[in-house]
Amino acid sequence: MRNGDYTPTRFASQSDAVNVIFGRKTNANPENTVGLMTSGGKTPQVLVTPTTDIGKILSGLHGTQVSGEADIITSLQVAQLALKHRQNKNQRQRIIAFVGSPIKPKADEKSLVKLAKKLKKNNVAVDIVSFGSEEEIDDNEGTLRAFVDAVQSGENSHLVTVPAGANLLSDAIVSSAILAGESGVPGEFGVGDAGGSGAQNNFEFGVDPSLDPELAMALRMSLEEEQARIAAQAAQNPAAAGAASSTLTSIPENAASGAGAATAAPNLMDQDDEDAELAQALLMSQQDQGGEAKVDDEDVDMDAADDEDEDGDEDDGEEEDDDEEAIAKAIAMSMAEEEQKKAEQQPPKK
């Protein structure tokens, strides 16, 4: 446990993981309690009974010394007794065991499986965190997996293997199935467990009731009130109730159709404006020709409007010819006046 293959040492990384687990468990539910005990030394010892005081846990960790060999069977039995005498009998029982050294030879697989069945009978879930060197993990793998498979009841127990590496032990545990119920995060960092890849976010309304019970309660009450209102409408007006109930399941469709109507309305207004402009242009053209225009409620004849546009184009051509002739006459008159002025300015010949 003094090896430095985990940052900073195995024991220090385990203490940090205990602190993180305590915080996650107590924050998930104010009624959750966490205890602390050792499995090494002369005999396993309970340092802190289940509590919500982080100070007691930190004090127990500070006073713990690394000594002796770990006795996993006796430790699990003592932990079961401590949970049996818990104050709140409504709390579910769970043991999280850290195995960071080789299991003692007397803790054979047969004895562990027998203990696992006893724990399962008493509704005790067990999570095991196996860490250490690659050899130690491989040697303990078979025994620990057999134990977890025997204590398993409804996917409530897990075996998490954390090899040495750059990741902290606490980070690997937080992202594993052990704390997935509290954090809602599935397993990462390649961590394996006997219970699958962790809990998924399949909560009602997308909210974990253990993390935010007040919000989950408010959403549920709001839905129940809406359903009660629709039921009351159904008793009075079945047609209106059917329309109201359909809105609960087809809001996106209604929103899409509403957007379509909103975009279609401006298009219709644009078409009306264009028709009005065409009618006004036709009226002005008829007034220029001296005719009396009459605008009826019927649609405008587009062929007649095109004919009028062609006539207008011919009139414009004649007006352009008249303008050119007037300009030519003006230039000729200007040149004649200049010649006359020059003739008057010249002195008479003698």
Provide the pLDDT for residue 262: 37
Average pLDDT over residues 271-278: 64
Give the tens place of pLDDT for each residue, 56-98. Answer: 999 999 988 888 888 899 999 999 999 999 989 999 999 999 9
CB neighbours of 154 closer than 8 A, spacing ≥ 6?
Answer: none
Average pLDDT score over residue span 6-12: 85
Residue 99, pLDDT score: 92
- In the predicted structure, residue 260 carries a pLDDT above the cut 80: no
| pLDDT for res 124 | 95
Percent of the chain with pLDDT strictly greater than 70 = 62
195 pLDDT more than 50 = no
Is 43 a residue whose pLDDT tops 80? yes
Specify the residue for token string 């107590």: 26
Q: For 327-345, what is each residue's pLDDT tens digit?
A: 777 777 777 777 777 677 6
pTM (2 d.p.): 0.53
Is the pLDDT confidence value at 310 over 60? no
Higher pLDDT, 223 or 273: 223
Confidence grade of residue 224 (pLDDT, cut at 50, 70, 90): confident
Has residue 150 got a pLDDT over 90?
yes
- What is the average per-residue pLDDT within 26-46? 91
Confidence check: pLDDT of 263 > 70: no
pLDDT on residue 168: 84
The pLDDT mean for the chain works out to: 74
Residue 251: pLDDT above 60? Answer: no
Which of 2-6, 135-139, 179-183, 195-199 is least confident?
195-199
The pLDDT-based confidence of 287 (bands split at 50, 70, 90) is low
